[in-house]
Chain A
């Protein structure tokens, strides 16, 4: 096993993590290390295309990381901790990284909700399909329905169009009224207005339905089409791919493992992004889903604060508070409607790892018994996918976390 020591360890190489690293490195002599479980830096929002970092913001940050001689460890999956060190699995084996300060920038993942046919091949997440296309998936001339909820839908649809896909519909489940309020909220953050307008522009020929959701996906061994619901009517739409995701949930497993206080499902932090655990900070989506701008400023604050650069941290507090307001508006605008709770039928799989059907789960009162008796949540994804689903469907919360927080090869335990 490889043992490594660093002063500031940052988990996650997306916007928050990279910003934190650069800020931390500005301090005198602090050794900074970034560990990320993907093959390339950028996280999800700046995911590298065909292994090459395309986003100019990401490129800038990566260049700065290089200059500052920040140590980067790619393909590192953190699974356990031991005193002031984290254990991670890499393709070449286990590494133990000892740190003085830790910054968690573990980002978020998409929320998926079960509906009949959602396990068919070619049903992807929304951000999920985008990630696969960035990894080289060819979507030229493929008919794609983009559905679910959240600002990501438009981002994904626009990206797919730019890659030659035929986006046949965008279905946003949220109601009209809420979207208008959200649009008003955009005014407070100028850069986001520009983002919003151009997206609608490029997608001006794509049917965009609010109050709309997918009630079923159909096909024999792969997707043939989806049934869409819109204002009380249903329609079957043929398509090759479905990109469906319901906004984001924070990746707080590592924060939980470290004993950080979790409030309403997010890692609680003070104004300097410090968690309830003395030398652990958290920035970006795990503190609240706020998108890339919040992630960058929070990352910077955490990086400065963790290295005692309090003046620099202070100077960013006002910017951060503005982005937090945007995050709150996001949450309200894209709240999930009740109809989504009744999409699954008795035979719809809820836990994909263990094939536990909805009908099996409804007879339980709590997640614990359901887990032990049906194995729901006990599979490889460790409840990351079905956990957010059962929380929405049944109100079941499971805040218990145990190492390994990602599956590891037994030789690395």
Chain B
């Protein structure tokens, strides 16, 4: 099991879970905020639509659908 924080809230997930799945399972629906302020979430699930972008460990614009959650990861959404 892996423990990561999403918007400072700790959540535990199975090994091999993607960050996107972890975020959705935690009940967080908005991953990023669009140019005109819309809340957006993942669509393609394979890394081409760029809607699943979140900040991980301080680095922004990371496509969470293709990143496996790791222990201690700090994820921030809504940016």
Contacts and interface: CB of A to CB of B under 8 A. Distances in A.
Q: Give yes or no for direct A-B contact (beta carbon below 8 Å).
A: yes
B42 A38 contact: no
B30 to A, nearest CB: 6
B39 interface: yes
Contacts of B36: 355
A38 B47 contact: yes
A50 B35 CA distance: 32
Given A50-B14, A51-B15, A137-B21, A124 B45 contact: yes
A131 B43 contact: no
B45 A131 contact: yes
B7 interface: no
Nearest to B19: A135
6 contacts: A48-B16, A51-B68, A109-B44, A119-B40, A132-B24, A352-B49
Nearest to B29: A121
Chain B, interface SS category:
loop
Given A51-B16, A121-B31, A129-B45, 4 more contacts: A131-B45, A137-B20, A355-B38, A385-B48
A221 B21 CA distance: 19
A52 B51 contact: no
Contacts of B48: 109, 251, 381, 384-385
Interface string A360-378: 0000000000000000000
A168 B12 CA distance: 30
Interface of B: 13-18, 20-22, 24-25, 29-31, 34-36, 38-51, 53, 61, 65-68
Interface string A106-119: 00011010000001
A50 B45 contact: no
A74 to B, nearest CB: 10
Contact of B34 (A133, A138, A355): A355
A328 B14 CA distance: 41
A136 B21 contact: yes
Contact of B41 (A38, A112, A121, A130): A121
A123 interface: yes
Interface in A214-267: 221-222, 251
A128 B45 CA distance: 4
Nearest to A110: B44
Contacts of B68: 39, 51
A48 B65 CA distance: 13
A354 interface: yes
Contact of A136 (B13, B44, B51): B13
Given A137-B21, A137-B24, A138-B25, A355 B35 contact: yes
Contacts of B22: 136
Contacts of A51: 15-17, 68
Contacts of A385: 43-44, 48-49
